[in-house]
Amino acid sequence: MKNNSFIRFLIAGLLIMSSQVYAQLPAIDSLKLIPANPNANDALTVICYTTFPYGGCSINTIHSEQQGNDILLMLDYNVGMAAYICHSVDTISIPNPGAGDFQLITTITQQEDILLDQDTLAFHIDPYLGLPDYTSNNFQVYPNPVENELKFTTNFAVEKLEIYSTSGQRIQIFEPLSDNSHIDVSNLEKGIYLVTVSSRNQNQLTQRIIKL
């Protein structure tokens, strides 16, 4: 008799636990964009963390599209009917929309027409400058970033100094240099520039500067 009571108690407990599990709804726990601070040349990856309270949770189909500044990501899942919780971590590649401010709107569905949950992640993409990493002990500039006066040192006599925009347009030229150690850049707009020095025998070195 005691055994029967215990079994009935155990079954009742399992039924309560099962009803609590099924009463919960699938949810997107969090979204993560990699890289966290992308530029317009980066490959973008979204990691979607989801919880399904009733068993199996494998992705069936993935669809993404861009509508203005909204990136729509739709994930359809094969969902089980078991009385256990399934945590899913899914990695999805999305197209890079270019520089600007965007929001990723992610929806998870079942059977492609049953909406389970939706979440939004705002992010910013910087322009891609496409600049090589200019480093040389033979040509150094300071301070960098610079506001008014840019100082430089080289291991050769400088005949000419040129300042270019990142698009390749020459902004300023100092030829010949009245002073072989510093130049006035106070009239430059804020931004990133390339500074190139040339010697008499056409030896050239370049450094990148940030104008404040």
pLDDT tens column, 2-51: 455 545 544 444 444 444 444 467 889 999 998 888 887 788 889 899 98
CA angle 180, 136, 185 (to 5 degrees): 45
Q: What is the helix (H) or strand (E) element at residue 23, kind and residue range?
A: helix 2-23
Place 86 in a pLDDT band, splitting at 50, 70 and 90: confident
Give the Cα separation of 7 and 13 in Å (integer).
10
Q: For the CA atoms of 123, 124, 130, 132, what is the dihedral angle to 10 degrees?
A: -80
User: What pLDDT does residue 60 have?
Assistant: 87
198 DSSP β-pair partners: 160, 204
pTM for this structure?
A: 0.53
Q: What is the pLDDT of residue 154?
A: 81
Question: Does residue 106 register a pLDDT over 80?
Answer: yes
User: Within 13 Å of residue 138, how many CA atoms lie on the same side as its CB?
Assistant: 12
Task: State the pLDDT confidence band at 126, using cuts at 50, 70 and 90.
Answer: confident
Strand partners, 207: 195
pLDDT of the residue at 178: 55
Distance between CA atoms of 175 and 186, rounded to whole angstroms?
18
CA atoms within 13 A on the CB side of 150: 28
DSSP letter assigned to residue 126: B
DSSP 140-167: EEESSSBSSEEEEEESS--SEEEEEETT
How many whole angstroms separate alpha carbon 43 and alpha carbon 32? 14
| Contact in structure between 97 and 125 (CB atoms under 8 Å) | yes
Contact between residue 160 and residue 199 where contact means Cβ atoms under 8 Å apart: no
CB-based contacts of 44, cutoff 8 Å, min separation 6: 33, 34, 35, 38, 93, 94, 95, 96
**CATH assignment, 139-211:** 2.60.40.1930
* Residue 101 pLDDT > 50: yes
